[in-house]
Amino acid sequence: MECIFCQIIAGAIPSEKVHETESLIVIKDIAPQAPTHLLAIPKAHLPTLNDCKDPNLLGELLDTARFMAKATGIEESGYRTLINTNADGGQVVHHLHLHILGGRSLSSSMG
């Protein structure tokens, strides 16, 4: 198993897990880009957003982002949810994950 997130889910690589459901985990990003930087990661190995055909799972990812924003106190100050897909999207880890960023003012730029 070479996927780093699959290894984290299996417990073979340590992570700071902050939340878990039947279908996903939420961990702290190892190189945080903001005071709050979490990753919501489905337990199923889906390489990219293109591979996720389950609208319920996609809904759960966003629902989890909202839940974690509230839990970390950034619900009202604001936060960003982000999925990078493939090369032009800047995806580095090819296991679907949703970034949850907040705790500082983030640029309005999309670039």
Instruction: Report yes or no: 103 and 74 within 8 Å, Cβ to Cβ.
Output: yes
Q: 78-107: which residues touch ligand 5GP (CB under 6 A)? A: 84, 90-93
Task: List, edge to edge, every strand of the sheet that includes 36-42.
Answer: 17-20, 24-28, 36-42, 98-102, 79-82
- Please say if 45 is a catalytic residue: no
Closest separation in Å from C-beta 46 to Zn ion: 8
Do the Cβ atoms of 103 and 34 come closer than 8 Å?
A: yes
Lookup: tokens for 52:
């996720």
State which of positions 84-103 bind Zn ion (CB under 5 A): 95
Partner whose binding site includes residue 30, from Zn ion, ligand 5GP, none (CB under 5 to 8 Å by kind): ligand 5GP
* 41 phi and psi angles, rounded to 5 deg: -125, 115
Binding mask 35-74 for Zn ion (x = CB under 5 A): ----------x-----------------------------
Question: Pick the catalytic residue: 37, 95, 97, 99?
Answer: 97
Answer for which of 17, 19, 23, 29 binds ligand 5GP (CB under 6 A) is 29
Tokens of residue 70, six digits: 């509230």
The minimum distance between CB 102 and Zn ion, in angstroms, equals 25
DSSP symbol at 66: H
DSSP 106: P
Report the interface residues with ligand 5GP, using CB under 6 A: 4, 13, 15, 27-31, 39, 84, 90-93
